Amino acid sequence: MTEKQTFITEEGLEKVRAELGDLKNNKRKEIAGRIQEAKELGDLSENAEYQDAKEEQGFIEGRILELEELVRNVQIIQNDGGGQIVTVGSTIKIEDQIGKKLEYTIVGSSEADPIKGKISNESPLGKTFLGKKSGDSATVETPSGSLIFKIKEII
């Protein structure tokens, strides 16, 4: 099976590694302690604390596997700044069809946060900008119609 490569910034990778370290070094021990305490309470079939702890343990182990896979298949985004073509890692200044100016950074899906101006390279908007140059227009199809953006600057 071919693993999906994930684009991420150095900063994003550090956050992932920090979360992974916390889950492995702290949360695992914490949940093991909760499970042990719940076992000491007696009958496990009717023990809500035990069931909750086991569910949380499953979630934590799943998240650890997810983060480990992400780290294995990561490709660091290299942005040299001032690019000629929009790529993953580019920050672009755009203007919509009514003159509203916006700024977005194209990032991998694991770091996307549209509220903070970080859009995924896999999103309809991100895909539309990839490969475009400063001065190009990009049309994004939405359920309510087409939106047209003009790329003003690639940073």
- Residue-wise pLDDT for 74-107, tens only, equals 988 876 656 789 999 999 999 998 999 999 999 9
Q: Mean per-residue pLDDT for 139-153?
A: 91
> Tell me, what amino acid is at 86?
V
Per-residue pLDDT tens for 24-76?
999 999 999 998 888 887 776 777 888 899 999 999 999 999 999 999 999 88
pTM of the model: 0.74
Whether the CB-CB separation of 146 and 139 falls below 8 Å is answered with yes
Which band of pLDDT confidence, cut at 50, 70 and 90, is reported for residue 23? very high
Structural domains in the chain, CATH included, are 6-76 (1.10.287.180), 91-154 (3.10.50.30)
